């Protein structure tokens, strides 16, 4: 049997041999006790036909979880191995939001055949409703399975309804309270239901204060609200306030992960989300725009440096320090913009907060600039350079550190105010801009001091 924490290459090769030989008993002996998530990771090393054979040996509920855990691109290719008749058995064993996401990835014909063959009509109705939402809004994230109680019910009846409704709900975080029209009124905790006398009305014990989100809200708003209020689940309502479903923390973790990956790509100069197995053209297209911006910035920097050719002719040693100036400005700017982007993740961030952040940034830059410039001054003199040139380089480094910090702080804030993703302010943009700024400061200081 494979240990999920110790899956060696030899063990994986042995499992592949069992799959190729069709050794059902050996496969089950190897993976039968593994968690579905670990089996999912193993299947990435198998082709679609072999993966289907492995899943066919496992209980349907385990197979459903494995399919849910697959990344979308792999799953889309994998499900080509299944007919709608074969796949439909997994749908009732999935959460409605996961089932809707999976069906959204499939061709329209396959999707409609699955819905037509689904004998669980309640699940079919759930899916039909969920499929009409865009995947990046609250309606696309929500699951229909939840526990709700009418405000006019007694505690006894509520407990009976919880038992009935809980058959289709894997995790119970809250009991939502609604009126006769399913309008969300509040929530009541399981603890309060348990300790309250049986004939007490829900209207006497429920909490009307509840955080909810409308179905049309963007998924990023959902993530921000759940983070702000530290929620494990949040109810979703329509514009009339009718309870539609709920979003749980596991779905929001996926959204937060996607946000982080998108910001990392943008900060790295990659303008689109591209998977490892995408074509060369798509991968190149996602990286090319910011590389072109960097190239244009480099050409501008070279042309800008040419304006001070006479200074370099008078003191050729000045050219040796150009890379130091530009690299320092770029690094300082990226540091400042990264800190600012993290701060902008707090929706309560305002102009006062920005001014406080900018003031702190300037103070930090003054400290860092002083240390760096004194270090450069000392090392440059030790290495035998002219003291006047050493002083010029040190002064330029100090100025560049302060100005690059200010620019790295201001630029993301300005972009954020105009609803532009501030992550694009980092990476190539800040680096290129600070190269030009650094050269201007360097030659300007040199002109004044030399």
In a domain, 271, yes or no: no
Do residues 63 and 81 both lie within one domain? yes
In a domain, 4, yes or no: no
In a domain, 188, yes or no: yes
pLDDT band at 116; cut points 50, 70, 90: very high
Domain-terminating residue out of 84, 112, 137: 137
Do residues 22 and 100 both lie within one domain? yes
Cα–Cα distance between 397 and 445 in angstroms, integer? 10
Do residues 317 and 435 both lie within one domain? yes
Residue 426 per-residue DSSP state: S
Across the chain, mean pLDDT equals 84
Give me the pLDDT at residue 412, please. 84
Do residues 185 and 301 both lie within one domain? no
In a domain, 440, yes or no: yes
CATH of the domain at 63: 1.25.60.10
Domain-terminating residue out of 226, 249, 272: 249
- Count of the separate structural domains present in the chain: 3
Do residues 172 and 132 both lie within one domain? no
CATH of the domain at 243: 3.10.580.10
Sign of the C-alpha dihedral, residues 27, 29, 30, 31? positive
Do residues 31 and 109 both lie within one domain? yes
In a domain, 333, yes or no: yes
Q: At what angle do helices 60-69 and 36-43 cross, to 10 degrees?
A: 60
Q: What is the DSSP string of 130-148?
A: HTTS-TTBHHHH-BS--EE
Question: End-to-end CA distance of the chain, in Å?
Answer: 76
Residue 402: pLDDT over 70: yes
In a domain, 45, yes or no: yes
Q: Which is more confidently placed, 417 or 273?
A: 417
Residue 282: pLDDT over 70: no
- Residues whose CB is less than 8 angstroms from the CB of residue 309 and which lie 6 or more positions away in sequence, other chains included: none
pLDDT band at 413; cut points 50, 70, 90: confident
Give me the pLDDT at residue 444, please. 82
Stretch 141-154: mean pLDDT: 94
Share above pLDDT 90 across residues of the chain, in percent, rounded to a whole number: 40
Give me the pLDDT at residue 385, please. 77
Q: What is the CA radius of gyration of the chain?
A: 30
Residue 304: pLDDT over 70: no
Do residues 305 and 445 both lie within one domain? yes
Do residues 296 and 407 both lie within one domain? yes
Do residues 120 and 156 both lie within one domain? no
Give me the pLDDT at residue 227, please. 85
Query: Rounded to whole angstroms, what are the CA distances from 40 to 66, 69, 213, 261?
Result: 5, 7, 33, 22
Do residues 316 and 393 both lie within one domain? yes
Do residues 183 and 223 both lie within one domain? yes
Q: Which is more confidently placed, 9 or 182?
A: 182
Cα–Cα distance between 246 and 147 in angstroms, integer? 10
Cα–Cα distance between 238 and 288 in angstroms, integer? 42
Query: What is the domain extent for residue 197?
Result: 147-249
Stretch 202-215: mean pLDDT: 95
Do residues 111 and 151 both lie within one domain? no
């Amino acid at each position: 049997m494979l240990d999920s924490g110790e899956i060696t290459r030899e063990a994986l090769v042995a499992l592949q041999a069992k799959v190729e030989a069709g050794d059902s008993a050996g496969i089950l002996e190897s993976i039968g006790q593994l968690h579905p998530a670990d089996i999912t990771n193993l299947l990435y090393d198998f082709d679609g036909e072999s993966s289907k054979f492995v899943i066919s040996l496992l209980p349907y509920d385990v197979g459903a979880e494995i399919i849910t855990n697959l990344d979308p691109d792999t799953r889309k290719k994998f499900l080509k191995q299944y007919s709608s008749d074969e796949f439909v058995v997994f749908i009732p064993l999935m959460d409605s939001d996961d089932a809707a996401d999976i069906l959204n990835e499939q061709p329209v014909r396959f999707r409609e055949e699955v819905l037509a063959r689904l004998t669980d009509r309640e699940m079919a109705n759930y899916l039909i409703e969920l499929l009409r939402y865009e995947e990046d809004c609250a309606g696309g994230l929500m699951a229909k399975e939840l526990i709700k109680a009418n405000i006019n019910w007694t505690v006894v009846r509520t407990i009976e309804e919880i038992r009935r409704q809980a058959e289709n709900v894997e995790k119970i975080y809250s009991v939502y309270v609604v009126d006769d029209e399913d309008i969300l009124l509040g929530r009541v905790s399981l603890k309060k239901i348990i300790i309250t006398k049986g004939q007490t009305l829900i209207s006497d014990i429920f909490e009307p204060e509840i955080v909810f989100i409308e179905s049309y809200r963007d998924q990023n708003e959902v993530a921000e609200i759940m983070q702000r209020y530290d929620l494990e689940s949040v109810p979703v309502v329509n514009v009339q306030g009718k309870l539609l479903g709920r979003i749980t923390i596991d779905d929001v973790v996926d959204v937060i992960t996607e946000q982080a990956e998108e910001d990392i790509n943008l900060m790295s100069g990659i303008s689109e989300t591209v998977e490892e197995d995408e074509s060369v053209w798509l991968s190149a297209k996602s990286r090319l725009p910011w590389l072109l911006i960097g190239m244009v910035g480099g050409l501008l920097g070279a042309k800008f440096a040419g304006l001070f050719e006479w200074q370099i002719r008078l003191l050729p040693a000045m050219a040796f320090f150009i890379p130091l100036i530009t690299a320092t400005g770029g690094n300082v700017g990226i540091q400042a913009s990264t800190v600012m982007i993290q701060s902008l993740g707090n929706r309560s961030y305002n102009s006062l907060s920005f001014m406080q952040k900018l003031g702190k940034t300037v103070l930090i830059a003054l400290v860092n600039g002083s240390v760096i410039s004194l270090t450069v001054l000392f090392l440059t003199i030790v290495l035998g350079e002219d003291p006047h040139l050493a002083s010029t380089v040190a002064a330029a480094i100090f100025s560049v550190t302060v100005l690059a910090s200010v620019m790295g702080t201001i630029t993301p804030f300005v972009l954020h105010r105009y609803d532009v993703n501030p992550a694009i302010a980092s990476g190539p943009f800040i680096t290129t801009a600070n190269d030009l700024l650094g050269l201007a400061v360097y030659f300007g200081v040199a002109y004044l001091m030399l």
